[in-house]
Amino acid sequence: MKKIKFPIKRDQLIAFLMLLPSLILIGLFVYGFIFQTAYSSLTDWEGVALGVKKNFIGLENYKNLFTKLLDVRFRQSLVNTLFFTVFFIAGCLSLGLLFAILLDQRIRYEGVFRLIFLYPMSLSFIVSGTVWRWLLNPKGGINLLPTLIGLQPLEIKWLTDRTQIWQFDWLILPKVFGYILLVVMILLAFRYFRSGRNWGGGIAAMIGLATLFWLISGKANQLQIMNHTEIHGFNLALLGIIIAAVWQMSGYMMAMYLAGIRGIPEELREAARVDGASEVRIYREIILPMLKPITLSAMIVLGHISLKIFDLIFVMVGPDNATTDVPGVLMFLTAFRGNQFAKGAAIAMVMLIIVAVIIVPYLVNTLRTEHEL
């Protein structure tokens, strides 16, 4: 029965018409505008003068961003985002889990503790950034804390630090991506073959083999994306920003984990206790495995926050601090302070693509599980 029924019920039509304005708005302001940004990123649009002519130049802007000597700041911002994201997520997950487990121990004044761990979430990044900038003053704030108990002050330079550790050459990136692709394809092939989807498995295995060949044949070494070496690494100046971000967001993880733990039926734990399992074992073997889906969706939420972070860094270090740049800040500066709209659009598209790679599979997956229900 795939035939459209006539007449369509009147109320169903009204329902659709009520939804329509929102659909049009989202279509225009989200998808239409993304399309426009994508188009702008393929032009040489610069400057604010009216009637500037935009010339189509293909992928030139993207090529420049990833290889041109002048655009090194963008590549550093990508590397910064990577390190920031890893530490930010790790920090929030571990602190959040720690708080949740501690608060699950029949704690007196649990509500008060919860309130205090979560209050930074209600603040603007502008407020917390302002405060943390003051706390991270190299000659005051945190660095002076040890003096309160008679110790020497710390000498961490925080936001003004120019040290870079874990350095690597930008030129190794194609190879790194090659290895990542190889691992992903091997895993994918395994999963497909195991579940009997031989076609998918075959394709994954083929791509994997091709990558492997490319890596060992030495072709990967010959790939010249630019003709100079370019060192990037983890800028220690980011440390202070990571601390501020974790301070602000770990309460969110606590709330997520606590909701998860409270959702586990008490009988399950009681049964394990009767069987003589220790509390530690109950956490390790019952509770933690059940928190995995929460961890996954939280990682996605935290991940996309950190990939598009802007306000916190903007207010903590200002616009002129290249060492702590992230794409979100750089895009704003490029487009709205530098009037290089095409390049700004290209940076924005790179951000969108990175976020979409994470978000789209997640959304599709939630849609699918919903259908199974």
Partner 1 sequence: MMTKKPINRFLIYFVLVLFVLIFLTPAYMVVVTSFKSPDQIELSRVWELPSSWYFQSYLDAWETFAPNLKNSAMLVVPATILSAILGSLNGYVLSKWKFRGSNILFQLMLFGMFIPYQSILIPLFQFLDRVGLYGTIPGLVMVHVVYGLPITTLIFRNYYAEVPTEMIEAGKIDGAGFFKIYSKIVFPISLPGFVVVIIWQFTQIWNEFLFAVTLTSGTGNTPITVALQNLAGGRAVQWNLPMAGSIMAALPTLLVYLFLGRYFIRGLLAGSVKG
- Tell me which of 55, 105, 224, 229 binds partner 1, using CB under 8 A: 105
| Pick 178 or 338: Cβ nearer partner 1 | 338
CB of 55 or CB of 229, closer to partner 1: 55
Please report whether residue 15 would count as binding partner 1 according to CB under 8 A: yes
Considering the rule CB under 8 A, would residue 52 count as an interface residue with partner 1? Answer: no
- Taking CB under 8 A as the criterion, the residue among 156, 304, 321, 322 binding partner 1 is 304
Q: Which of 236, 255, 288, 338 binds partner 1 (CB under 8 A)?
A: 255
SS3 letters for the chain? CCCCCCCCCHHHHHHHHHHHHHHHHHHHHHHHHHHHHHHHCCECCCCCCCCCCCCECCCHHHHHHHHCHHHHHHHHHHHHHHHHHHHHHHHHHHHHHHHHHHHCCCCCCHHHHHHHHHHHHHCCHHHHHHHHHHHCCCCCHHHHHHHHHCCCCCCCCHHHCCCEEEEEEHHHHHHHHHHHHHHHHHHHHHHHHHCCCHHHHHHHHHHHHHHHHHHHCCHHHHCCCCCCCCEEEEECCHHHHHHHHHHHHHHHHHHHHHHHHHCCCHHHHHHHHHCCCCHHHHHHHHHHHHCHHHHHHHHHHHHHHHHCCCHHHHHHHCCCCHHHCCHHHHHHHHHHHCCCHHHHHHHHHHHHHHHHHHHHHHHHHHHHHHHHC
When asked if residue 115 is in the footprint of partner 1 (CB under 8 A), the reply is yes
Q: How far is the CB of 176 from partner 1 (least distance, A)?
A: 24
Which of 1, 3, 22, 55 contacts partner 1 by CB under 8 A?
A: 22
Of 25-33, 59-67, 188-196, 210-218: span binding partner 1 (CB under 8 A): 25-33
- Please tell me whether residue 247 binds partner 1 under the rule CB under 8 A: yes
Q: Of 208 and 303, which CB lies nearer to partner 1 in the complex structure?
A: 303
Contact call for residue 261 and partner 1 (CB under 8 A):
no
Residues 327-346 contacting partner 1, CB under 8 A: 327-328, 331-332, 335-336, 341, 344-345
* Residue 240 lies near partner 1 (rule: CB under 8 A): no
Distance CA(276)–CA(342), nearest Å, equals: 65
Cβ distance to partner 1 smaller for residue 101 or 171: 101
The least distance separating partner 1 from the CB of residue 185, rounded to whole angstroms, comes to 27
Q: Output the six-digit token pair for 129.
A: 């950034």
Pick out residues in 156-215 that bind partner 1 (CB under 8 A): none
Q: How far is the CB of 346 from partner 1 (least distance, A)?
A: 11
227 belongs to the binding site for partner 1 (CB under 8 A)? no
Residue 120 touches partner 1, criterion: CB under 8 A: yes
Q: Please, which residues bridge with residue 164 across strands?
A: 235
Q: Does residue number 313 form part of the binding site for partner 1 (CB under 8 A)?
A: no
Asked whether 286 and 304 are in contact (CB, 8 A), the reply is: no
- What is the smallest separation between the CB atom of 343 and partner 1, expressed in angstroms? 11
336 touches 349 (CB < 8 A): no
Q: Contacting partner 1 (CB under 8 A), which of 23, 52, 59, 226?
A: 23
370 scored as a contact of partner 1 (CB under 8 A): yes
The strand pair at 164-169 and 231-235 is best described as: antiparallel
CB of residue 34 to partner 1, shortest distance in Å? 6
Instruction: Return the residues of window 275-294 that contact partner 1 according to CB under 8 A.
Output: 279
Which position among 204, 298, 313, 333 is part of the footprint of partner 1 (CB under 8 A)?
298
